[in-house]
Amino acid sequence: VLSNHGKLLCVIMKMLKGKRVIVTGASSGIGEQMAYHLARMGSHILITARTEVKLQKVSTQCRELGAASIHYVSGSMENMSPQSCLLGGLDMLILNHVGSTHFGYFKGDIEHPRKLLEINVLSYVAMTVSALPMLKESRGSVVAVSSLAGKVGNPFTVPYSTTKFALDGFFSSLRQMLIVENANVSITLCVLGYINTGKAAMKAVSHVICNKPAPKEECALEIIKSGALRQRELHYPYISVTIPLILRDWVPDFLDALTRNIMDIEKVERT
């Protein structure tokens, strides 16, 4: 006998079986885990990232896990032509890749946010624009992976937050436009808290933030579910994202103070 949770998972698995899905930034971290979940569900998968060897490894694994088909396109998202990614048709576009950024003081190097906007925002816009005709035909979904740092200001993620807040603007407005146009394409914005990807950048943060990071495998599954269920937003982990968002709207100064207080600011390099 299955629990309600198990039943829902079965429904989601059936929904994604045979569906055509693109996952960007799938050579590592949360994106890699999404590819594995989709493979187990029997989807047609296309993954992207810059590092070809890693994409090859992830593809092999996906094939073994039962993907209906698996392809990859390697290259940097700043100058990738969105057309090069497109299959014969598309049911779900999962935008997940991010350029690397450091957790620390922003010293005014304008080239960093400029490049990050290109990778984290403009390529999301370009991919969405070129996928929309196919998504309209399939009544598909766009899923954009963002962060709590894309909803709440943080002293040590200035360039990163610039890009993630921008995604909220683009996708919230696009959702409205699609409704007005009567296009049946869903838009899901994933607001993630601190996730354990095992990356060096994430480990560097662990000295400053005492919270325990959430597992990337579960996170990846929740992202896929939220897209399949056509949810407006995903909050993961639910409590650690939803509470700050309620506080943000009602007592923003209190939330700002709380955000500063959960961090050991002395441990952040000043130079």
Ligand X SMILES: CC(C)CCC[C@@H](C)[C@H]1CC[C@H]2[C@@H]3C(=O)C=C4C[C@@H](O)CC[C@]4(C)[C@H]3CC[C@]12C
Contact residues toward ligand X (CB under 6 A) are 103, 147-149, 152, 154, 157, 160, 193-194, 199, 201-202, 205, 209, 244, 258-259, 262
DSSP state of 22: E
154 binds, among ligand NDP, ligand X, none (CB under 5 to 8 A by kind): ligand X
Please say which residue, 58 or 135, places its beta carbon nearer to ligand NDP: 58
Please say which residue, 15 or 171, places its beta carbon nearer to ligand X: 171
Contact in structure between 24 and 95 (CB atoms under 8 Å): yes
Interacting span for ligand NDP (CB under 6 A) from 168-176, 177-185, 188-196, 245-253 = 188-196
171 binds, among ligand X, ligand NDP, none (CB under 5 to 8 A by kind): none
CB of 129 to ligand X, least distance (A): 25
- 113 is a contact residue toward ligand NDP (CB under 6 A): no
Q: Which two tokens stand for residue 116?
A: 């990050």
Name the catalytic one among 36, 72, 124, 160.
Answer: 160
**How many residues at the interface with ligand NDP, by CB under 6 A?**
27
Q: Which two tokens stand for residue 41?
A: 């569900």
**Tokens 């601190």 belong to residue:** 194
Contact in structure between 167 and 121 (CB atoms under 8 Å): yes
**Dihedral in degrees, nearest 10, Cα atoms 109, 114, 120, 121:** 140
What distances in angstroms separate CA 146 from CA 143, 235, 243, 270, one per listed residue? 10, 10, 17, 27
Which of the residues are catalytic? 160
